[in-house]
């Protein structure tokens, strides 16, 4: 629960008050922000927050502070309208309405910045949260994400903005979810090396729906990109975009964009799978590939990825530390793990019966794990899981196959699933992310917060099917 709560009403409030009750509100958000501390919630009454009423722009929301307005019939009835100078070393002076620092939240407000170079909301650090916000009539950008920022922007509208509704610069990442970008020069502009996840958004009636430039590489899943005046999706330079793979559908819709639905002028070829797009409406190098997804996927089709190279010898603890005296240096069971950092953990799993080594006395820690081996692991680790579906006989798992029972049980308990052609592919490798999804689904685990996985530098490359499972794990 918040430690500090302030109330603001631009028509009935006074900044000389304490502002801690709805009946005795402050007049300006500026004053409430000046008084804010960690874990502060500021409630804004519906109305117009402008310089003429005492607001000083840009309004900077500090870490741990939540600013919450009042919803209206078609858009939030709390309106922040104004502009102030923000200095940036790389981009120079910017005319900004609102700045969100790491850990700040802005909810249920309308932002308006009619300056020629006006920007609605600026996010340059950490993990800010923007939700249920309408950003309108900004001369340059509705929203800017830059630096190493990882914001979550959801259920918001960016409309009638000059250069772009939302722009990602530098290494900007984060997530757009259920966002509408309408009637902008460009709906979403992704450039430099930015790599956001754009998911279940609507980009319509812009000049260009999504434009990707430089070496940017966003991920698009489940978006509707329609009725834009030139291109639905446009790529230049060395930009690339993830539009789905054979084992994971993009589920995007590209339709009725005037010149082309997808225009690839990048020097790199694109791959698209599982999107609603007509081949004759695509220009440039793009390969439309067929799906290999199994039915009702618990674990999607397996990728032949090289496993992460795990260091055999991690940094040693300081001499004389408790850890250096009590933790074994390696395995006492397997000859090839005598000095391996994971040796004690493998010994513990072996003693518990969850895993076993090879007949030659090795464990082979760098060897990839197959679906059959994974099935044996989960059966040994979770022997009492109830069956969720009837066992299925797979054509590529013969009666004498060593893991036949384990595969059948893993399928029946929800850890694994087969492929549409009745095959299990037991000898294919399973990746880290697929194993996480399998264990999370098999155990029925829920409750993870998606924003918590923003700490990973390769967040944008996490497949959409795995986001919730990874957050839970």
Q: Which residues contact 241 (CB under 8 A, 6 or more apart)?
A: 212, 217, 218, 219, 220, 233, 235, 270
What is the pLDDT at residue 307? 38
Measure CA of the first residue to CA of the last residue in the chain; give whole Å.
Answer: 25
258 part of a folded domain: no
Q: What per-residue confidence (pLDDT) applies to 327?
A: 53
Residue 278 lies in a domain: no
For residue 83, what are the domain limits? 5-206
Point out the domain boundary residue: 138, 172, 206: 206
Burial of 183 (0-12, 13-18, 19+ CB in 10 A): middle
pLDDT averaged per 10 residues, the chain (length 473): 86 96 97 95 98 98 97 96 93 95 97 97 96 98 95 98 97 95 98 95 98 96 97 97 88 97 96 94 92 45 35 51 55 83 83 75 83 86 84 83 87 82 83 86 80 66 73 77
Q: What is residue 57's predicted lDDT score, i.e. its pLDDT?
A: 98
- The structure tokens 């059948």 sit at 408
3-state helix, strand, coil in the chain (%, to 5): 15, 30, 55
In sequence order, what are the residues at sequence separation of 6 or more whose Cβ sits closer than 8 angstroms to the Cβ of residue 440? 469, 472, 473
In a domain, 452, yes or no: yes
Give the domain CATH number at 192.
2.160.20
Distance separating alpha carbons of residues 150 and 430, to the nearest angstrom: 29
Domain membership of residue 41 (yes or no) is yes
Instruction: Please give the pLDDT value at position 411.
Output: 87
Residue 213 lies in a domain: no
Does the residue 275 lie in any domain?
Answer: no
The pLDDT score that the predictor gives to residue 464 is 63
Where among 154, 188, 206 does a domain terminate? Answer: 206
**Is residue 389 in a domain?**
yes
19 and 164 belong to one structural domain: yes
Of the residues 206, 221, 239, which one is the last residue of a structural domain?
A: 206
Residue 251 lies in a domain: no
- Ramachandran bin of 64, using left for φ above 0, alpha for ψ from -120 to 50, beta for the remaining angles: left
Structural domain count of the chain: 2
């Amino acid at each position: 629960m918040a430690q500090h709560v302030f109330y603001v009403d631009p028509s009935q409030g006074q900044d000389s008050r304490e502002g801690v009750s709805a009946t005795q509100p402050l007049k300006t958000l500026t004053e409430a922000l000046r008084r804010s501390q960690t874990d502060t919630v500021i409630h804004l009454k519906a109305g117009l927050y402008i310089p003429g009423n005492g607001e000083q722009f840009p309004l900077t929301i500090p870490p741990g502070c939540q600013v919450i307005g009042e919803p209206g019939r078609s858009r939030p009835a709390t309106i922040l309208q104004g502009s102030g100078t923000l200095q940036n070393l790389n981009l120079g002076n910017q005319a900004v309405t609102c700045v969100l620092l790491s850990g700040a939240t802005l909810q249920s407000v309308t932002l308006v910045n009619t300056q020629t170079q006006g920007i609605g909301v600026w996010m340059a650090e950490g993990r800010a949260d923007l939700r249920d916000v309408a950003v309108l009539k900004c001369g340059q950008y509705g929203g800017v994400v830059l630096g190493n920022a990882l914001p979550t922007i959801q259920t918001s509208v960016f409309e009638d903005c000059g250069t772009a509704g939302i722009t990602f610069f530098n290494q900007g990442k984060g997530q757009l979810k259920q966002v509408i970008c309408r009637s902008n020069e460009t709906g979403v502009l992704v450039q430099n090396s930015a790599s956001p996840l754009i998911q279940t958004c609507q980009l319509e009636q812009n000049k260009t729906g999504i434009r990707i430039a430089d070496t940017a590489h966003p991920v698009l899943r489940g978006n509707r990109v329609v009725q834009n005046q030139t291109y639905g999706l446009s790529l230049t330079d060395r930009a690339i975009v993830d539009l789905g793979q054979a084992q994971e559908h993009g589920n995007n819709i590209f339709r009725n964009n005037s010149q082309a639905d997808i225009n690839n002028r990048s020097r790199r070829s694109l791959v698209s799978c599982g999107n609603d797009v007509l081949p004759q409406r695509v220009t440039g190098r793009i390969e439309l590939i067929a799906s290999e997804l199994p039915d009702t996927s618990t674990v999607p089709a397996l990728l032949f990825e090289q496993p992460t190279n795990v260091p055999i010898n991690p940094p040693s603890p300081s001499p004389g530390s408790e850890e250096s005296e009590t933790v074994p240096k390696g395995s006492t069971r397997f000859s090839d793990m005598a000095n391996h950092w994971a040796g004690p953990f493998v010994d513990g799993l072996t003693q518990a019966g969850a895993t076993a080594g090879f007949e030659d006395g090795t464990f082979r820690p760098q060897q990839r794990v197959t679906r059959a081996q994974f099935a044996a692991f989960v059966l040994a680790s979770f022997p009492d899981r109830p069956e969720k579906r009837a066992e299925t006989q797979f054509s590529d798992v013969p009666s004498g196959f060593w893991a036949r029972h384990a595969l059948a049980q893993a399928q029946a308990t929800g850890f694994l699933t087969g492929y549409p052609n009745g095959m299990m592919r037991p000898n294919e490798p399973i990746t880290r992310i697929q194993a996480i999804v399998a264990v999370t689904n098999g155990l029925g685990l829920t409750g993870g917060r998606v924003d918590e996985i923003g700490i990973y530098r390769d967040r944008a490359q996490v497949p959409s099917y795995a986001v919730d499972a990874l957050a839970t794990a």
